[in-house]
Amino acid sequence: MATAATPRVGIIGAGMSGLCMAMKLQDAGIDSFVVYEQAADVGGTWRDNTYPGLHCDIPSPFYSYSFFPNSEWSRMLPPGGEIQQYLRRVADERGLRRHIRFGTEVTAARYCDGRWRVSTDSGEDEYDVLVTATGFLRVPRVAEIPGRESFAGPAFHSARWDHSVDLRDKRIGLIGTGSTGVQIVAELGGKVTQLKVFQRTAQWVLPFPNLRFTRLRRETIRRFPALARPGYAFWSRLISTIYGRAPIQPGPARTYFHTMCRLNLRLSVRDRTLRRKLTPDYQAMCKRLIISGHYYRSIQKPGVEVVSDAIDHIEPRGVVTTDGTLHEVDVLVFATGFDARAYVRPMSIVGENGTTLDEVWADGPHAYRSIAVPGFPNLFMLMGPHSPIANQSLVPVAEDQADYAMWWIEQIRAGRVASAAPTEGATKTYNEDIKAALPQTIWASGCNSWYIGKDGLPEVFPWHPGRHRELLRGPVVADFEVRTGH
């Protein structure tokens, strides 16, 4: 039997999930935790991304912790800056900052003698439980375009926006038309001298009314936070139902999205040549669905041009496409996405017997129910492989995963468990079930996207997001190798 004692918990990352885990520990009366954050502030992706037009395309009433409503949203689709402010307020009001070691990068974590030894750039610490909350769209993907380094003007990735560059009188080249590129175009189109949008693959775009909230609404929720609950419940149900069902099974929901996107394009873009350029050759939702009420309007503004010829190379003056045209620009923005398979990497995670996570993931990242890995006892990953992401709000996903980790932490605190890691068998079965379900999803219907993994299958949760919640609700202890003493 292990001895009952409050476990020490290390959390890596002070973004939305890391803060969530920290609050769950606090609520359980556990104060013995440390959050490592390599940057100087909380917020994760909402701290790193500051590009013009940044917002979240999930309705704001649903983009907050279920237990910490935000009265301050100004709009239906929350601007990035407001999300960052919200996360800062959460950290302040919950007194989390004293637990966070800012400016501290975790370089490695090794499971040794029943504890996690965490190495940072300033030393080593030991924990009973390690929770990784590093996010999955953290490492910018640099487009491997020949001559990229030779460009003479300012050039930066969308997640590292250079605000010292004044864009108004500039000719801007924007590479990429994912959720990020579309938001940048929607904001900058018509506001800069020239905007050349280099589109490799057209996107389906669903319009969504981005209503402004009244001061009265904000004031009311500030005074009576409980009034935020019905909005949360409404959007939670709607988003998980409509965005949840359409991708996983053919039917009316899927047809609805495709029809709405097609109609949106047809009604918004009158010019046939432009419309043809903007028409994708795959089903709506195969790539992550883009939500924008302004994209088509902005892309038709004076000075905006969609370049759909493939990029051949970059040279000091601009971008050369395969038809030989040099598109001269002053600034180059790479909205080329992220390495979605990085997860905790480049950090080195070493489990029992010296096995590294890199070795276990040689054929692609996988986990037991998205959260734990065989051979890595007391390691819990938030937003791990095959989490329900796509067009869902990630906040409730983080809450469910943190609750699951808490269940095990409570067992350790009570002395019933010393360590737990999923068995190879249970993890294999789970991943085989996922693989069997994936081909039926829309994400595998014939488009290229960042969801697609090494094996050609999407790395997402192939069932309704409600099932993820069910899978995490009650841990199946038989699926774990549990030790009761070190």
- In the Cβ-directed half-sphere of 343, how many Cα atoms lie within 13 Å? 23
329 belongs to the binding site for ligand NAP (CB under 6 A): no
**Which residue in 142, 118, 138 sits closest to 128, CA to CA?**
118
**Applying CB under 6 A, does 244 fall inside the site for ligand NAP?**
no
* Under rule CB under 6 A, residue 405 binds ligand NAP: no
HEC secondary structure over 394-420: HHHHHHHHHHHHHHHHHHHHCCCCCEE
User: In angstroms, what is the minimal distance from the CB of 76 to ligand NAP?
Assistant: 12
3 state DSSP class of 14 = coil
Whose Cβ is closer to ligand NAP: residue 454's or residue 486's? Answer: 454
Q: What is the CA radius of gyration of the chain?
A: 23
- Between CA 476 and CA 422 the distance in angstroms is 10
Which residue from 288, 366, 369, 386 is in contact with ligand NAP, where contact means CB under 6 A? Answer: 288
Of the candidate spans 28-36, 193-201, 354-362, 397-405, the one that interacts with ligand NAP by CB under 6 A turns out to be 193-201
What are the Cα distances from residue 439, in Å, to 162, 385, 445, 462? 40, 17, 8, 9
The site string for ligand NAP over 406-425 (x = CB under 6 A, - otherwise) reads: --------------------
- 43 touching ligand NAP, by CB under 6 A: no
Q: Does 335 bind ligand NAP (CB under 6 A)?
A: yes
484 part of the interface to ligand NAP, by CB under 6 A: no
* Structure tokens given for 278: 């903007």
Tell me the one-letter amino acid at 152: A
- In whole angstroms, what is the distance from residue 170 CA to residue 482 CA? 61
Residues 352-391 that bind ligand NAP (CB under 6 A): none
Site string for ligand NAP, 423-462 (x = CB under 6 A): -------------------------x-x------------
Binds ligand NAP (CB under 6 A): choice among 189, 337, 377, 384: 337
Pairing of strands 419-422, 480-483: antiparallel
184 binds ligand NAP (CB under 6 A): no
Rule CB under 6 A: say whether 200 interacts with ligand NAP: yes
DSSP 236-285: HHHHHHHHHHTTTS-SHHHHHHHHHHHHHHHHH---HHHHHHH--SS-TT
Span of 172-180, 250-258, 428-436, 460-468 interacting with ligand NAP by CB under 6 A: 172-180
Contact present, 404 and 380 (Cβ < 8 Å): yes
Q: Which is nearer to ligand NAP, 60 or 104 (CB)?
A: 60
Q: How far is the CB of 198 from ligand NAP (least distance, A)?
A: 6
**Rule CB under 6 A: is residue 292 a binding residue for ligand NAP?**
no
Q: Which of 249, 448 has the CB closer to ligand NAP?
A: 448
Please give the structure tokens belonging to residue 396: 């409730």
